[in-house]
Amino acid sequence: MYAVTDPATGEVIATYPTATDAEISSALELAHRATAWGRTSTAAERATALRRLGDLHAEHRAALAEGIVREMGKPLAEAEGEIDFCVEIYHYYADHAEEFLADERIDVTSGPGEAVLRRFPVGVLLGIMPWNFPAYQVARFAAPNLAVGNTIVLKHAPQCPGTAALLEELFVRAGFPEGAYVNVYATNDQVATMIADPRVQGVSLTGSERAGSAVAEIAGRHLKKVVLELGGSDPFLVLSADDLDSVVDAAVASRLDNTGQACNAAKRFIVVADLYEAFVERFAERLLAQQSGAPLSSVAAAENLQRQVDAAVAQGARLVSAGERKGAYFPAGVLTGLTPDLPVAREELFGPVALVFSAADEEEAVRIANDTPYGLGSYVFTTDPAQAERVADRIEAGMVFINGVGAEGAELPFGGVKRSGIGRELGRLGMEEFVNKKLIRTVA
């Protein structure tokens, strides 16, 4: 089940044994025992380990990046950038752990005395991670929770076992005690067992809508809190432009991020009518010219995208592309002639294919943007600051980026609404999800 299969060649490079039930039980027990460390260590001590973990990511940047390329096909420069972002995340929480966990005094108005809100870890957390950002997704989940003092059992994607093993080694070398971070090569049935286990206090998953629904259902039955970051079909609104070329460049960069395999990449491009033809012409030309030539994560991923594109064309869409799918390699493409009622308009296309819609005006652009079951991120390009503010308020998404792409940061909360998930990661909010915010009231 856990195997490194190079998507560029289809060659199985390495396999890893799936965990036995006894190994799963041992992992849970180790993490449970390590909760004593989480309760008794100081924020400063945990911050020291996080800083060392960030440093270790920097030291092993080449090995981590090469492993990511081998496991899921990401272009090397992007894999190196992913590790750099991990370093920022671990260092960010090292810098801010004490500040974020400081006592919060409450102004008592209901009677005499004083009150304080003090933050404590909740215990063992189960993390279920995807293949598209093998190191960054772990950092986004692990950094804030280890800063709090929670312990982690981490189930990585089956196609990323090598990265999973190396990451566990770095956590140990950073100084976290045995059980603070435990990697498991678990099956789906074992995941269900772990969620139900009373030692597990919460679950964080980044993955598909289907996986999120399944995890949430099991967690709900056992009264476990979840944080879910699921799919997205983020809109990219072009409402006005002084420099259309720069807007097109931003659109291309966003669609080609991770060869189009990012949940929060722009996927639906909604352009006002007077800019539509010029945008489509330049966008299609540059998208095809700038595609990385990297494969998708697997042949199966490419086959699924092919089915979606074929269905869109059958529904009346027009495809501009160059070349044909070969194995896991999928050529960039632009689909036009779309209306929001077509089935493809409500799907997530995970690969370098863009959907472009024409909108009569701002009102219709916002309506198309919101006409989706997803609500992760969004992008608004306009020369009018008042319009930017107005549209940002109306878009149904967890994140809005105005006149820019690639603007995520360790300090900025990440998450969505609707079927894109529940909860937030990163920033201060990322530390607030799995925390016992204990009220201590002194009357006299």
Q: Active-site residues: which are they?
A: 229, 263
Q: Which helix (H) or strand (E) holds 144?
A: helix 136-148
Burial bucket for residue 343 (CB in 10 Å: 0-12, 13-18, 19+): exposed
* DSSP labels, 224-270: -EEEEE----EEEEE---S-HHHHHHHHHHHHHGGGG--TTSEEEEE
Residue 276 phi/psi, 5° resolution? Answer: -60, -55
Which single residue is written with the structure tokens 């493809």?
344
Residue whose C-alpha is closest to residue 259's, from 401, 400, 72, 414: 72
Q: Is the torsion defined by CA of 228, 415, 410, 290 positive or negative?
A: positive
Q: Which helix (H) or strand (E) holds 204?
A: strand 200-206
Residues pairing with 116 in the sheet: 105, 440
Q: How many CB atoms lie within 10 A of CB 361?
A: 11
Contact 52, 82 (CB under 8 A): no
Alpha-carbon Rg for the chain, nearest whole angstrom, is 23
Q: Give, to the nearest 10 degrees, the angle between helix 76-100 and helix 136-148.
A: 10
